[in-house]
Every structure is written in structure tokens, then in C-alpha cells.
Amino acid sequence: MADASALLIVLVVGLKYLLPLALIPFPFLAGWANFVLDTMDGDVLVPLGLSEPVYQRIDKSADYVTYVCMVAAAWRWPLRRAAIGLFALRTVGQALFFITGNEVVFFLFPNFLEPLFLAYATVLVLKREDAPAFYARHAVVIWVLVVVYKLQDEYVTHVANVDRSELLGRLLGG
């Protein structure tokens, strides 16, 4: 059983570092796959025996690989400058987390890059060549949704430290 757990840990951790590389050629598919993996990885890795502190270090370093690949993928997009600026903002948070170990820095330096990237990658799939014009017409709405979503996410995850799986279970009566 321990060998199977160790193999599964290696597989999930490997995916966390390798899947972001697919963001460059496949921003939509890899972006959403990475989002799902990042949402559920802790619910898999910690019960398999990875300690919470080790998981946090792996998760945050893999997240940083994702951010680098998102900027590379967005390099030709009209929101390239925004992606670079949001990357810089989160880089400060990442550095402060690795220096202090305090998760609250993620609320102070939010990851707006990921939801903006996912929104634009989705627009690219749905609108194709009209994507830049669509984004320009709806930028305010997109940004409001990105900011509101991510601020609540950072607060719940890194300030209140609420486990979403448990919260969902309680809300559904389980």
C-alpha cells in the first residue's frame, strides 16, 4: 500500500510541474486541466501521507511554474502587459510566502493572473479571431469578475483557511 501511495504522490506532483508546460500550445485545455488539478491535489496528496508543510511548498512552487508558463502563453495576447504585471504582483507574494511561511501574503498579493488567463483562453476558444475585440468590449466585466472571484478565493483559502471540500460537504448536509 505504501508503494502505491508513493507512486500516486509522484504522479500527482509530476503532473503539477509538467502540465503547465502544455499551457503554451494549449492554453484553454491545459489551463482548465491545471485549474482542476490544483483544486483537488491537496485532497489527494495530504491523505496519501504528504505533510501539510511539504504539500504547501510543492504546491506553491508548482503554481509559480504555472504562472511563468501563463505569461509565456499570453505573450502574443493583447493582455500581455496585464499578464506581466499580475505575474510581478504574485511573484512578490510567492517570495514573501517562501521567506515567511505566512499564507496571508497571498491575499495581499492575489493571483489575478490565473483567472484572467482562463477567461481569455476561454474567449479565444469561443470567439476565435474576434477574441481581442470581444475582450476589449467586455474588459470591465471580465476584470470585475476576476477580482471579485479571486479576492474571495484568496481570503477563504489563505486567511480563513476553510477547506472547500469540508465546506461543500457541510453545505450539502454531509
pLDDT at residue 65 tops 60: yes
pTM to 2 decimals? 0.90
Q: In the chain, how many H helices and how many E strands?
A: 8, 0
List C-alpha distances in Å: 51 to 1, 45, 81, 173: 18, 8, 37, 28
Q: Give me 129's grid cell.
A: 479571431
Mean pLDDT (the chain) is: 93
Q: Determine the pLDDT at residue 24.
A: 97
Cα–Cα distance for residue pair 152/63, rounded to 1 Å: 18
Q: What is the pLDDT of residue 126?
A: 96
Q: How confident is the model at residue 174 (pLDDT cuts 50, 70, 90)?
A: low
How does residue 162 score in pLDDT terms, banded at 50, 70 and 90?
Answer: confident
Q: How far apart are CA 32 and CA 17, in angstroms?
A: 15
Compute the average pLDDT of residues 25-44: 95
On whether the CB atoms of residues 161 and 103 are closer than 8 A, the answer is: yes
pLDDT of 1 reads: 57
The mean pLDDT value for 11-24 works out to 97
Q: Is the pLDDT of residue 54 over 60?
A: yes
Distance (Å, rounded) from C-alpha 136 to C-alpha 123? 11
d(CA 173, CA 64): 36
